[in-house]
Amino acid sequence: MTSALALDHVSYRYEGSTKPVLKDISATFERGSVYTIVGKSGAGKSTLLSLISGLDLPTKGEVLCGGMSLKEMDRDWYRSWKVGVIFQSFNLITNATAVQNIVLSMNISKSKVKDKKTHTYELLERMGIDRETADRKVLKLSGGEQQRVGIARALAHDPAILIADEPTGNLDRETEAEILDIFTRLAHEENRCVILVTHSRKVTSIADKIYSIQHGQLSEL
Amino acid sequence: MAQRGPQVYIITNAIQNLVRNRGRNFMIGGIILVMIICVVTALMINNTSSGIIDDYRTRFGSEVVLSPNQEKIREEAQQNSSSGMIRMVMPQISAQDLVKFGDSDLLQKAEFSTSTNANSTDLTAANADLGPGGATRGFARGGPGGQVEESQSTQFYFRLINQFADFTNGTRELSTDYDTTTATSRYPESINEAMISADVMDASGLHLGDKITATGELTTPPNLDVESTDPSDLGSSLSDLATTEISWSLTIVGVYTDLTQTEEQLNQLRSAWADRRNEILVSLDTLLANLQEGKQGIQVSATYFLKDPMLLADFDAELRTKGLPDVWLVTTDATSYNQVVRPVEALKSISTTFVFVVLIFGAIILALLSSIAIRERKYEIGVLRAMGMKRLKVVAGLWTETLIITGVCLILGLGIGMAVAQPVTNVLYEQQLAAIETQNETSDPMQGGRPEGMGGRIQGGPAGMGMTLPGQGTTAQPLENLNISLDWRTILQLIGIALALSSVAGVIATTQITKYEPIKILSERN
């Protein structure tokens, strides 16, 4: 069976640098599982995240989605349709409302949902954002609320792969538990591939497989 | 509910962005609005000026003027004089030549006005009791003032003319009172068809279709001794005039009513000949049929209109080959043209420069503003690209925003521009008129004006075979006001300019966004 996402001897070196950040990494990520990637700051977690989210390409090796290299794929389409990315710093359009952010994301991914606004409200409600908050500008939301909006946006176009960078970093314990529950359900009940980059032990606790990144090498714990 | 097109979100998002970033957009919009108002005003002035210039160029630039070269005539008279006395003889162009000159492929049209005096035993003139008038015989005798001498000879009651413009300018009208079941009053179409006034028709007891005979006279001009200073020579020459009787057999095909003469004017007439009602309207061919080489008596005046003012030199050359003597100058009415067009041309020049300056500075300012705006929105662009939005769609979104701003500014700018264009024009035009007036006052009076040398005007020519020459002594005055109007050409130009301006913003956006990689933007931000 073809894996949802695979790293095939992936290396990455920043432009102008002689030292590779990632060295010959190979791994597979299957649907129906939660993966966590742990590692110290500067270990290459964010670089790996940018490669699997299609924002960048490896200098060597391949990132494969459904057996197809991202180099041969329309990466805009990959980002808008195949993966949902939850950024550590949310990366929301700050002067737009939460709803506008999510509807725009659905429009970009050409979502077939007929009533996008209603769908967005429902999605945000699942993330603990009420209608009033949903209609406020992102700039006026708290860090936790922005994080939830980021998660809702990543889920809005119903992606097969969900990638998150410190997804619960700004959430209270209760919401963190709720969100982790959502991730677990998305993987186990909806057969999605969930990849979480984290420092949190609690997040690691829901993982089906844990990878550690150290000195540019990925190893399974 | 109909599903919206998949790309409509770009427009929706653009509108939302305009509202979200209203502060910045008001500033950009304000600059575009000022530019558009300036361009609207300048273009309206420019296009109206162009229209006026084209119109006058066609009118004055294409109407050919044949005028005697006074200097050359004087030189020739000096060369031919052995006694030291100079007698200048004004040159003449025969009616046959005037007709011949009109047959040219270079001309848009040649208008001939012909007339001759006539009598008819078949007709009773209106105001016949005043007696005849309009002595015809005479000729030009040279000398200062171009004096014209007339002999006492045949007097006439009628004039044969081909003046049909009166029917379009409302000074005569076709009368249908004499229509019968077999004949309807109409204009003469063929040779030897005539139209007479209702008064003459009644007085003569005629009907449509009746035939009449009209007679006139042609004279052979004497060979004047230009060297002679003895006045008796002139008298003897006059008595030597040979006359030839000519006649027309005319069919009455139409009746007209004269609308110009009031009762008071009629009472002031001194002869029946002077009464417009005694004019017999015939075709040009009818009058020219009795034209004879070397004889005078049928007045012909010609006005030539070139197809293009640029053809003047070619027409000049053609007239020389057709026999126009060197003493004649072939020109267009430059004086009238300059009189009217110079201030308008100056205004057009100002407006053209203004449009270019505004567009160049505007484009630079807009390019800078767009560049700054894109930099400010770099993060937003990074987010959109990270979400998978294609570069072209990001550009399309930004371009849509600029187009909407430009469109709104275009509508507002058109309205405001229309309101301010006329007052601005009035001020600028008055300044131009004043400047040109000052310039004319300080410049040589001979420049740009009509030379008034010895012999004066030859307009009217001798009473005989003669001509009137157009463009002699212009009456053209500069326009008092320049009425500005907004036409489709201006609107289309403005739309083009607006699109070009928004394209500047679009090109800037495209260039910058092409350079941006979402990963770099987001990592810089983070």
- Interface size A-B, in CB pairs within 8 Å, comes to 59
Look at residues B326, B354, B380 and tell me which one is the last residue of a structural domain: B326
Residue B474 resides in a domain: no
For residue A34, how many other CB atoms are within 10 A of its CB? 24
Distances, alpha carbon A8 to alpha carbons A194, B189, B290, B406, in Å: 19, 99, 110, 51
- pLDDT tens digits, B349-390: 888 898 888 888 888 888 888 888 888 888 888 889 988 998
The DSSP symbol for B119 reads B
Q: What is the per-residue pLDDT for B365?
A: 84
CA distance A218 to A221: 10
A77 touches chain B (CB under 8 A): yes
Among partner residues B3, B21, B386, which is closest to A79 by beta-carbon distance?
B386
Q: Which residues pair with A38 in a beta bridge?
A: A212
Among partner residues B383, B390, B525, which is closest to A93 by beta-carbon distance?
B383
Which residues on chain B are in Cβ contact (under 8 Å) with A108?
A: 9, 384, 387-389, 393
Q: What is the per-residue pLDDT for B525?
A: 65
Mutation for testing the B interface, residue in A104, A114, A116 having most B CBs under 10 Å? A104
Question: Would the CA dihedral through B102, B108, B113, B114 be positive or negative?
Answer: positive
**Is residue B152 scored above 90 in pLDDT?**
no
Residue contact B526–A110, C-beta within 8 A = no
| B271 and B309 belong to one structural domain | yes
CA distance B111 to B92: 19
Residue contact B389–A87, C-beta within 8 A = no
B20 touches chain A (CB under 8 A): yes
Residue B209 resides in a domain: yes
DSSP B122-191: T---TTGGG--B----EEE--STT--EEE-----BSEEEE---HHHHTTSEEE--TT--SS-------ST
Q: What is the per-residue pLDDT for B23?
A: 86
Q: How confident is the model at residue B519 (pLDDT cuts 50, 70, 90)?
A: confident
Among partner residues A78, A91, A96, which is closest to B20 by beta-carbon distance?
A96
**Is residue B162 scored above 80 in pLDDT?**
yes
**Is residue B472 scored above 50 in pLDDT?**
no
Q: How confident is the model at residue B468 (pLDDT cuts 50, 70, 90)?
A: very low
**Is residue B182 scored above 50 in pLDDT?**
yes
CA distance A78 to A82: 5
Which residues on chain B are in Cβ contact (under 8 Å) with A56?
A: 519
A85 touches chain B (CB under 8 A): yes
CA distance B425 to B483: 8
Residue B3 resides in a domain: no
Residue contact B387–A104, C-beta within 8 A = yes
Total residues belonging to chain B: 526
Q: What is the per-residue pLDDT for B479?
A: 67
Mutation for testing the A interface, residue in B383, B391, B395, B521 having most A CBs under 10 Å? B383
Nearest CA in chain A to B391: A76
B383 touches chain A (CB under 8 A): yes
| B80 and B214 belong to one structural domain | yes
| B299 and B367 belong to one structural domain | no
- Here the ipTM equals 0.91
Report residue B88 CA to chain centroid gap: 34
State the total domains in chain B.
Answer: 2
Q: What is the per-residue pLDDT for B471?
A: 39
Q: What is the per-residue pLDDT for A12?
A: 93
Determine phi and psi for B227, rounding to 5 degrees: -80, -20
| B102 and B14 belong to one structural domain | no
Among partner residues A77, A80, A107, which is closest to B9 by beta-carbon distance?
A107
Among partner residues A56, A76, A92, which is closest to B383 by beta-carbon distance?
A92
Start-to-end CA distance of chain A, whole Å, equals 24
Average pLDDT over residues B317-342: 83
Look at residues B266, B295, B326 and tell me which one is the last residue of a structural domain: B326
Look at residues B304, B326, B348 and tell me which one is the last residue of a structural domain: B326
Q: What is the per-residue pLDDT for B246?
A: 92
Does an H or E element contain A202, and which? helix A201-204
For residue B23, how many other CB atoms are within 10 A of its CB? 7
Q: Measuring CA to CA, which residue among B51, B15, B60 is closest to residue B340?
A: B60
Using alpha carbons only, what angle is made at residue B396 by residues B392 and B399, rounded to the nearest 5 degrees? Answer: 135
Among partner residues B3, B389, B522, which is closest to A108 by beta-carbon distance?
B389
Mutation for testing the B interface, residue in A48, A49, A55, A139 having most B CBs under 10 Å? A55
| B362 and B273 belong to one structural domain | no
Q: Measuring CA to CA, which residue among B141, B161, B159, B142 is closest to residue B151?
A: B141
Residue B368 resides in a domain: yes
Which residues on chain B are in Cβ contact (under 8 Å) with A95?
A: 20-21
Min Cα–Cα distance to chain A from B520, Å: 9
Q: Measuring CA to CA, which residue among B34, B53, B28 is closest to residue B413?
A: B34
Residue B7 identity (one-letter amino acid)? Q
Q: What is the per-residue pLDDT for B350?
A: 87
Residue contact B386–A91, C-beta within 8 A = yes
Q: What is the CA radius of gyration of chain A?
A: 17
> What residues in chain A have per-residue pLDDT under 70?
1-2
**Is residue B119 scored above 90 in pLDDT?**
yes
Which residues on chain A are in Cβ contact (under 8 Å) with B388?
A: 76-81, 108-109
- pLDDT tens digits, A82-132: 999 998 888 899 889 999 999 999 999 888 888 999 999 999 998 889 999
Q: What is the per-residue pLDDT for B116?
A: 93
Average pLDDT over residues B293-315: 85
Residue contact A95–B21, C-beta within 8 A = yes
Residue B335 resides in a domain: no
Q: How confident is the model at residue B292 (pLDDT cuts 50, 70, 90)?
A: confident
Residue B479 resides in a domain: no
User: Contact B66/B303 with Cβ under 8 angstroms?
Assistant: no
| B182 and B35 belong to one structural domain | no
Min Cα–Cα distance to chain B from A3, Å: 22
Average pLDDT over residues B206-232: 75
Which residues on chain B are in Cβ contact (under 8 Å) with A77?
A: 388
Q: What is the per-residue pLDDT for A144?
A: 83
A192-201, B115-124, B344-353, B443-452: lowest mean pLDDT where? B443-452
Q: Which domains does chain A have, with CATH numbers?
A: 31-43+75-220 (3.40.50.300)
A14 touches chain B (CB under 8 A): no
B522 touches chain A (CB under 8 A): yes
Q: What is the per-residue pLDDT for B446?
A: 38
Residue B119 resides in a domain: yes
Residue B485 identity (one-letter amino acid)? S
Average pLDDT over residues B222-247: 60
Among partner residues B16, B382, B383, which is closest to A100 by beta-carbon distance?
B16
Residue B459 resides in a domain: no
Among partner residues A76, A88, A91, which is closest to B383 by beta-carbon distance?
A91
| B32 and B164 belong to one structural domain | no
User: Contact B307/B167 with Cβ under 8 angstroms?
Assistant: no
Distances, alpha carbon B279 to alpha carbons B211, B255, B446, in Å: 16, 11, 41
Nearest CA in chain A to B8: A107
Q: What is the per-residue pLDDT for B440?
A: 61
- pLDDT tens digits, B212-222: 999 999 887 66
The DSSP symbol for A82 reads I
| B51 and B107 belong to one structural domain | no
Choice between B472 and B96, residue whose per-residue pLDDT is larger: B96
Min Cα–Cα distance to chain A from B507, Å: 22
Residue contact B387–A108, C-beta within 8 A = yes
Does an H or E element contain B258, and which? strand B242-258
Token pair listed for A59: 């200098």
**Is residue B91 scored above 90 in pLDDT?**
no
Residue B299 burial (C-beta neighbours within 10 Å; 0-12, 13-18, 19+): buried
B521 touches chain A (CB under 8 A): no
B1-5, B308-312, B521-525 — most confident range: B308-312
**Is residue B55 scored above 60 in pLDDT?**
yes
User: Contact A20/A59 with Cβ under 8 angstroms?
Assistant: yes
Which residues on chain A are in Cβ contact (under 8 Å) with B522?
A: 55, 87, 89, 91
Distances, alpha carbon B29 to alpha carbons A113, B36, B228, B412, B445, in Å: 36, 10, 84, 11, 52
| B165 and B197 belong to one structural domain | yes
Which residues on chain A are in Cβ contact (under 8 Å) with B385?
A: 76
Q: What is the per-residue pLDDT for B43?
A: 87
Q: What is the per-residue pLDDT for A1?
A: 56
Residue contact A104–B9, C-beta within 8 A = yes
| B189 and B110 belong to one structural domain | yes
- pLDDT tens digits, B474-514: 455 666 677 777 888 888 988 888 888 788 777 887 787 77
Start-to-end CA distance of chain B, whole Å, equals 42
Choice between B459 and B363, residue whose per-residue pLDDT is larger: B363
Q: How confident is the model at residue B60 (pLDDT cuts 50, 70, 90)?
A: low
CA distance A217 to B309: 86
CA distance B156 to B215: 10
Q: What is the per-residue pLDDT for B216?
A: 92
Q: Which residues contact B355 (CB under 8 A, 6 or more apart)?
A: B38, B39, B42, B43, B46
| B101 and B205 belong to one structural domain | yes
Residue contact A93–B525, C-beta within 8 A = no
Which residues on chain A are in Cβ contact (under 8 Å) with B3?
A: 114
| B145 and B105 belong to one structural domain | yes
Q: What is the per-residue pLDDT for B149?
A: 44
Q: What is the per-residue pLDDT for B521?
A: 77
DSSP B480-498: S-------HHHHHHHHHHH
Residue contact B386–A88, C-beta within 8 A = no
Residue-number span of the structural domain to which B135 is assigned: 70-326
B211 touches chain A (CB under 8 A): no
Question: Mean pLDDT over all residues of chain B?
Answer: 79
Q: Which residues contact B42 (CB under 8 A, 6 or more apart)?
A: B351, B352, B354, B355, B358
Q: What is the 3-state secondary structure (H, E, C) of B342-383?
A: HHHHHHHHHHHHHHHHHHHHHHHHHHHHHHHHHHHCHHHHHH
Q: How confident is the model at residue B459 (pLDDT cuts 50, 70, 90)?
A: very low
CA distance B343 to B433: 6
Residue contact A95–B525, C-beta within 8 A = no
Q: At what angle do helices B334-376 and B488-515 cross, to 10 degrees?
A: 30
User: Contact A167/A37 with Cβ under 8 angstroms?
Assistant: no
**Is residue B439 scored above 70 in pLDDT?**
no
Look-up of token digits 């003139």: B125
